Amino acid sequence: MSEERFVEGVRLSNPDKILYPEQGITKSDLADYYVAVADRILPHVALRPITMVRCPTGQGKKCFYQRHAGSGVPEQLGEVTVPGFDEPYLYVRDLPGLIAMVQMGVLEMHPWAVTVAHPDRADRIIFDLDPDEGLGFAEVIAAAIEVRERLSALGLTSFVKTTGGKGLHVVVPIEPTAEWREVKRFAKGVSAEMAADAPERYLTKISKAERAGRIFIDYLRNDPTSTAVAPYSTRSRLGAPVAMPLTWDQVRDGLDPCAYTIATVPGLIAAQAADPWAGMLEVRQRLPDQPRA
């Protein structure tokens, strides 16, 4: 067994360590995955405060969250001070930073909806569609399409991704002009309208006891320090799933979020004619009540 390996100039200790026992995926395999998807993931995680889910002994073992620098944090990660918070937060600059997180045993990356350049202004709105355990994925697909249609009626372009779990995220890029309370108020308003129009299908309360047979539209992601899993991030779950950006044409009957894993995603990307989220960084839009410059 190898004692070390260097990837993008970053030392991986114990590269043969198994991180996903079910698939036999090693630390070295995980590093290779992030090299393969670097061009896709970095535009959405670089230069953003990030919350890491560290699982040093692998999936299914003890994991913990980390946001701040501490002992053993590699030099490839940066730190940024966020107004209103005492301790600086970690962020990734580039591919070596991604590999450094692999060395740390990070199995999930959850960036904030802000950049280090504007840490007090959101540039993403997240609608997290979290279904009750008994619901099929077709209901989640229908919910995502409804969110998209409501946003489109307000003049907003949105994007969609799987989460590596049972839900979908609808993501709205915006210019970083609105304060957090405005962003959250807007997300809550759209979510509440859906719940009011179809209370048998949707709710906006986090209570699992009230969720039976319905989809929780989680607008609470739109708060400072609240995060959502990054596109192309792995998850610390059975099957080694990946949060996968989709085209809206893919959000239809037959969509299987379990098809997107560490093993399959690099090949799927290579076969794509275009990046489903390629246009996100070019979209220029604001909340409907925000004046344009």
- Answer yes or no: is pLDDT of 133 > 60: yes
Sign of the Cα torsion 258, 259, 262, 266 reads negative
DSSP 3-state assignment of 250? helix
pLDDT for 249 equals 96
| pLDDT of res. 290 | 63
The answer to whether 96 and 12 are in contact (CB under 8 A) is no
DSSP for 162-220? E-SSS-EEEEEE--TTS-HHHHHHHHHHHHHHHHHH-TTTEE----GGG-TTSEEEE-T
Largest CA distance in the chain: 60
The model's pTM: 0.94
238-277 pLDDT, tens digit each: 999 999 999 999 999 999 999 999 999 999 999 998 999 9
Residue 124 DSSP class: E
Tell me the C-alpha to C-alpha distance, in Å, between residue 273 and each of 112, 262, 269.
29, 20, 9
C-alpha to C-alpha distance for 251 and 47, rounded to whole angstroms: 29
What is the tens place of the pLDDT at every residue in 79-128?
Answer: 998 888 888 999 999 999 999 999 999 999 999 999 999 998 999 999 99
**pLDDT of amino acid 291:** 52
With cut-offs at 50, 70 and 90, classify the pLDDT of residue 219: very high
CA atoms within 13 A on the CB side of 188: 11
**Which pLDDT score, from 0 to 100, does residue 293 have?**
45
Residue predicted with more confidence, 73 or 6: 6
* % the chain with pLDDT above 70: 98
